[in-house]
Amino acid sequence: MTNSTRAPSNILIFDSGIGGLSIADEVTQALPQHPIVYIADNRLYPYGRQSDDALLARAKTLFPALERHYQPAVIIIACNSASTLILDEVRAITRSPVIGVVPAIKPAADITQTGQIGLLATKGTISRKYTLDLISEFASLHEITKIGSDVLVSQAERKLHGYAIEEMLIEQELAPIIGNTAIDTVILGCTHFPLIKQEIQNALGNKIHLIDSGEAIARRAAHILSTSNQQLPLNSPLPAHTFIFTAENNQVTKLAPALHTRGFFTIEIGNH
């Protein structure tokens, strides 16, 4: 990893892999003038399969080091599996404002007309107490059909690496929702899933409203930067973003086109 320190206007986006690029897309649209440092903690990928103790221990080691090195104006944990577990811990051990990405239960409960909601997430997010508490608080009167899916994660990964999407696998994974015609709202509760939003929409049909947290996260980041007087002028030069893996990745060449189109022209392998 380089030893140079980025400007205080950095937005640090953290995920176990590349799913958080969906959040980076929204942040770039809302704050195009701000440089993004994206950390892909592939050393422990995927987070959805790690124990709670392993993720908490990783957070205590990693986030203080990232904050010291990059001095971000804001940290975004762009992973539902991580946010539903380590968000409070990261806030306690860092000084930068920290935004977590959690399933959009409340917005879905507000817009559903039938009271029938689908929740797509990783298996870890589906079962975590944080998610169940969100459902209890904001959607206790609604019926939630939960699908914990590794298949959809792998399909999003395939797409970003330039491989063809396997539409039949997506349809099979979404069968419990497709078979329930009362469901009118589906939550994309994993940051990978907006990356294949159109493919999911094609499988479910246009009558189902898909909702995720991306735009809300970008608005929150913009608000934090504005109130802390760290929001750069909109006419600032467009920055080059930096993408960092925490371990070797032999798929970097295949991933590079998807990163370049998003403004990530520096791709590094870190030592965290």
Q: What is the pLDDT of residues 33-79, one digit of tens each?
A: 999 999 999 988 877 678 889 999 999 999 999 999 999 999 999 99
Cα distance between residue 144 and residue 243, in whole Å: 36
Catalytic residue among 36, 73, 79, 98: 79
Which fold does the domain 11-101+214-269 belong to in CATH?
Answer: Rossmann fold (3.40.50)
Strands of 241-245's sheet in order across: 98-100, 74-77, 11-15, 36-40, 241-245, 264-269
Please state the φ and ψ torsions of residue 12, each to the nearest 5 degrees. Answer: -95, 120
210 C-beta neighbours (distance < 10 Å), count: 18
pLDDT given at position 4: 44
Domain ranges of the chain: 11-101+214-269, 105-211
Question: What count of residues does the chain have?
Answer: 272
pLDDT given at position 7: 54
Is residue 79 flagged as an active site residue? yes
Residue ranges, the chain, pLDDT below 50: 1-6
By the 10 Å C-beta count (0-12 exposed, 13-18 middle, 19+ buried), 213 is classed as: buried
Q: How many CA atoms lie within 13 A of 109 on its CB side?
A: 15
pLDDT given at position 240: 86
Rounded to whole angstroms, what are the CA distances from 92 to 60, 63, 129, 260?
A: 10, 11, 20, 34
pLDDT given at position 269: 86
pLDDT given at position 272: 67
Catalytic residue among 190, 204, 208, 218: 190
Q: CB within 8 A of 192, min separation 6: which ones?
A: 17, 18, 19, 22, 152, 153, 156, 157
pLDDT given at position 92: 96
Domains 11-101+214-269 and 105-211 share a fold: yes
**Closest by alpha carbon to 189, among 249, 124, 246, 242?**
124
Tokens 């999407």, located at residue: 165
**Closest by alpha carbon to 57, among 105, 90, 100?**
90
Is it true that the peptide bond before 257 is cis, omega within 30 degrees of 0? no
Decide which of 1.20.1370.20, 3.40.50.1860, 3.40.430.10, 3.30.1300.10 is the CATH code for 105-211.
3.40.50.1860
